[in-house]
Amino acid sequence: MYSPAARAAGAPTKSSLPMFVQHPLFRPLAALAILLLIDLIMIPGFFHLEIKDGHLYGSLIDIANRAAPLILAAIGMTLVIATRGIDISVGATVAISGTVAAMLIGGTMVMNNGTPEYVANTPMWMALAAAMGAALLCGAWNGALVAGLGLQPIVATLILMVAGRGLAQLLTDGQIITVYYQPFFFFGSGYLFGLPFSLFIVAAVFIVTALLLRKTALGLFIQSVGINPVAARLAGLKTASLIFFVYVFCAACAGVAGLMITSNIKSADANNAGLLLELDAILAVTLGGTSLAGGKFSLAGSVIGALIIQTLTYTIYSLGLPPEVNMVVKSVVVFVICVSQSAEFKTMWRRAFPGARGGKTQ
């Protein structure tokens, strides 16, 4: 039985723990640390980093690089979830933005005096703008359905989830479109100052979002709408515009992720690009400590959540476990982390072990 009063009453039991344990990011960080510890013991050279051709190489870099699209999706998803919403069309938006970009760029290799040169069908900046435009349209569609027509978020975004991928496949005639245009590959596999360029994109999106939340009243407004939409409206908030905005924002993040993925695989695969990315994003948000009931959220938590998921995948593959095991192990880890975060479990734990306060799984 959830009640704020009961929660407030629960708080003092925790006060005996050190400050850092009480921090909302403690659990996700601890989970990540445990995973990394396992890697340290089980995988030789896991933390080894080396510089090759001026680029930094190593497992850690690889994980961060591969997690980039998921982190982007998780950032967008965090804001949607904070307003009590959910967006299950992220994967479809990824496919649409990637397909639009790949189709417009396309690219052909032209032999010029014996040296190959790459020519794009459409100037790259226009292709990128069109791809992002398509993603924003997707978000506006979701936002209009949820905020304008008052559809339930899961149903509203289900429409695009089904239709979006179909639309992308129609655009490509069901074919995989390969891109032959070197500059475009920079997004997904380029390097800047020795680090993958994707990390810079992720950092930029994260910083801009965090600033937007901190320096404007957006964070306060999103939480208010998520916790008590009626009160928020009566206090004079434009609740509908806010909700519309978070879906557009989420789609924009998915759009960037789509460009990244397309650039990385050098082609637009309308069937598989970003497939089930929304579920991983929701998972990342949950692992980061943001409740699906909306309200209080943690952007940093979602980033850590995404890193947990990617590290887990990497660990399983590196340990040489068969791919079939991947799903099972992943689900077990997710189960453990989610259960340890549930209020009911914490109460049960405290009752079972009155000495061990706080309910942390040991």
Partner 1 sequence: MTIISSAPAPVLELRGISKAFTGVQALNAVSLNLYPGEVHTLMGQNGAGKSTLIKVLTGVYTPDAGQIVLAGQSIQPQSTLDAQNHGISTVYQEVNLCPNLSVAENIFIGRYPRKLGRIDWSGMAKQATELLERMQIRIDVTLPLAHYPLAIQQMVAISRSLLVSAKVLILDEPTSSLDEKEVDLLFSVLRGLREQGMAILFVTHFLDQTYAISDRITVMRNGEREGEYLAADLSRVELVNKMVGAPAAANTGAPSAGAATQSGVDRAAAAGEGRFKAFLRAVGLGRKGALTPMDLEIREGELLGLAGLLGSGRTEAARLLFGADKADSGTITIDGKEQTFATPRDAIAAGIGFCSEDRKLEGAVLDLSVRENLILALQARSGMMRAIPLKRQQQLAEEYVKALGIKTASIETPIGSLSGGNQQKVLLARWLVTDPKLLILDEPTRGIDVRAKQEIMDYVSALCKKGMSILFISSELPEVLRVSDRIVVMRDRKAGGEYPRGALDETTVLHVIAAGDQHV
- Binding residues (CB under 8 A) for partner 1: these are 1, 3-9, 11-12, 15, 215-218, 220-221, 223-224, 227-228, 230-238, 295-296
Handedness of CA 300, 192, 185, 45 (dihedral sign): negative
Burial of 186 from C-beta contacts in 10 A (0-12 / 13-18 / 19+):
middle
Shortest distance, position 10 Cβ to partner 1, whole Å: 9
For residues 163 and 259, what is the distance between their CA atoms, to the nearest angstrom?
Answer: 20
Which ranges in the chain belong to alpha helices (H)?
Answer: 4-14, 19-22, 26-42, 59-82, 90-105, 124-143, 153-172, 186-189, 197-215, 218-227, 229-234, 239-265, 277-287, 299-318, 323-341, 343-352
Place of tokens 């004079």: 236
What are the residues facing 112 on neighbouring strands?
115
Residue 11 vs 149, nearer CB to partner 1: 11
Residue 223 vs 262, nearer CB to partner 1: 223
Shortest distance, position 163 Cβ to partner 1, whole Å: 32
Residue 42 vs 234, nearer CB to partner 1: 234
Residue 220 vs 328, nearer CB to partner 1: 220
Shortest distance, position 1 Cβ to partner 1, whole Å: 7
Residue 162: both structure tokens together = 């089904």
Residue 1 vs 149, nearer CB to partner 1: 1
Q: Which amino acid is at 270?
A: A
Shortest distance, position 293 Cβ to partner 1, whole Å: 10
| Contact yes or no for 65/196 (Cβ under 8 A) | yes
Residue 7 vs 48, nearer CB to partner 1: 7
Shortest distance, position 51 Cβ to partner 1, whole Å: 43
Shortest distance, position 107 Cβ to partner 1, whole Å: 41
Residue 282: both structure tokens together = 């929701």
